[in-house]
Structure 1
């Protein structure tokens, strides 16, 4: 029996940038894109970790401008689609038009799991430009499977080509992934994808569970580069799909070569599952809080785990990174009493 194929969207050059403080050079982008093109991934997502327009003081300034890295990426991609992430409120309509001019042909409009309405105009513009458009629901663990299914139905009504469930905190386990993907597949008629993080060490397992439950797309990064303990590693995921006799269109050995040659030298912190990353997944905190929390906790001489536990209690989401400072300061004052 022939198994249905799965499409790989590699986000090394977007979500992976969180782990290197958004310091990709144009040369890095070209090298990695060449490797992804030769490896046969469906799409390469490129840009700041917070998406196009995300290079700000709050989120972190990128080394290169969006236009420069997107133009560089486009020059190296022929069969692999050039993709961007757009977070409404950071990325603008003008940013999306500029990205299209640079050669971007796939946009994923990323919203908090209950706030799709803020991305409606961006989805509409992407379709008008003739782009492939996806709705991308961040922090999906924060609402029930049934509530998420309702959001998926709304996204489908907006005319998107496919829809993503993002486990932005690496908080889900395979059983939950399976339940959600099956329900979401029943709710909509468009393809769906999953974006997993490895904070509990479950990224590959969750991605495979998603595929077996009906997912059509899987996000990965070379070497697992990403926030927290990283993303689903492209190489291991493709190897696992190969063993399952699931077609990805990818050359495993070229992926391994690209990751080892162009990504491994850029890694600035261990991507192993640490106590801090486990707390990210356990309490459901956005993965990009990982490095800023460790840095701030050190500054205030407090335990980063205590900071993360408190942030989890406050149910922080992406964009509330300023609360790391507040919590660390409060904990330091308690120590002084």
Structure 2
């Protein structure tokens, strides 16, 4: 099966700029993304991320008129959304579909995931391509992966994404989790990588070798903390190594898109803040970043304490 690629720049990159992408830029971004060969453009959260943030911009809200503008620009079959079940009501999925979204990913926690199953069923019945994301997968015991993957698949999820939210996985970890999840669901598995330890590309290749067939990446790696798998590198890798994928990819638009991002979105520049490196080392979520202050020795000591208290 050929790799299914999702561009998550507009959504995950929003952590760097408060989700304040201008509509004109977002439309140009999506158009070039599709021209480059991305199957889906994940354009926004629906009604915010896990932790409430004030003053959310366009790609943090995922309003209906924004979805409609995107669907008109690139066609509904390329428009993807993501959401946390706690943030929505039963009215949201029908409204999103009516506006033009055709793929939705529902983020499930390891515990208390049951409300999300109802939304999986609703999304499936409406006609969405529907999958799930397992956030902070590096902290999930294997038994939870098995339980939630089985429950989500039984509810109608068509694919399961392993989200390395803390950027702490190794290639060995990634291969193991991919194999485990595939053995439970018998269906497609994807990877959402973060680059805290500089391993996003290695983890993506490891997941691919273990049978993953869905992959997230972002232009210039723009995403939470040090960012995601760098789309330009990932697509170049596929173009070089996978003839089936290469037939659908076009590297010129993705390089143009990288220049467009850097010219229009200052927060899009590659970055490796040292606190995020430490978060990755100790498998800590980004919410602890504000506690990592002081001299380097104090930062490391705080991180060790937080990791030990988990």
**TM-score > 0.5 by shorter chain:** yes
Partner of 1:10: 7
Contact 1:22 1:61 in 2 (8 A): no
Contact 2:262 2:268 in 1 (8 A): no
Larger fraction in helix:
2
TM-aligned CA distance change 1:111 to 1:263, over 3 Å: farther
Moved more, 113-122 or 57-66: 57-66
Match of 1:190, SS state, is coil
Moved more, 140-149 or 23-32: 140-149
Distance in 1 (alpha carbons) for counterparts of 2:154 and 2:218: 30
Moved more, 169-178 or 72-81: 72-81
TM-aligned CA distance change 1:55 to 1:88, over 3 Å: closer
Contact 1:55 1:61 in 2 (8 A): no
**Of the candidates 130, 135, 140, which is equivalent to residue 138 of structure 1?**
135
What TM-score comes out, normalization by structure 1 length? 0.82
- 1:180-259 equivalence runs, <5 A: 180-245=177-242, 247-248=244-245, 249-259=248-258
Partner of 2:53: 59
Match of 2:151, SS state, is helix
TM-aligned CA distance change 1:56 to 1:62, over 3 Å: farther
Match of 1:247, SS state, is helix
Match of 1:89, SS state, is helix
Structure 1: any 5+ residue segments left out of the alignment? 316-337
**Would you say how many aligned residue pairs link Structure 1 and Structure 2?**
303
Match of 2:87, SS state, is coil
1:119 to 2:113 alignment:
no
TM-aligned CA distance change 1:311 to 1:101, over 3 Å: farther
TM-aligned CA distance change 1:188 to 1:55, over 3 Å: closer
Please list the CA deviations of residues 97-136 of structure 1 after superposition, one character each: whole Å capped at 9, or x if unmatched: 2211210011100022333312011111101111110011
**Of the candidates 66, 69, 78, which is equivalent to residue 69 of structure 1?**
66
Please list the CA deviations of residues 201-243 of structure 1 after superposition, one character each: whole Å capped at 9, or x if unmatched: 0111101110110001000111100011001111100111222
Instruction: Return the offset for 1:303.
Output: 6.3
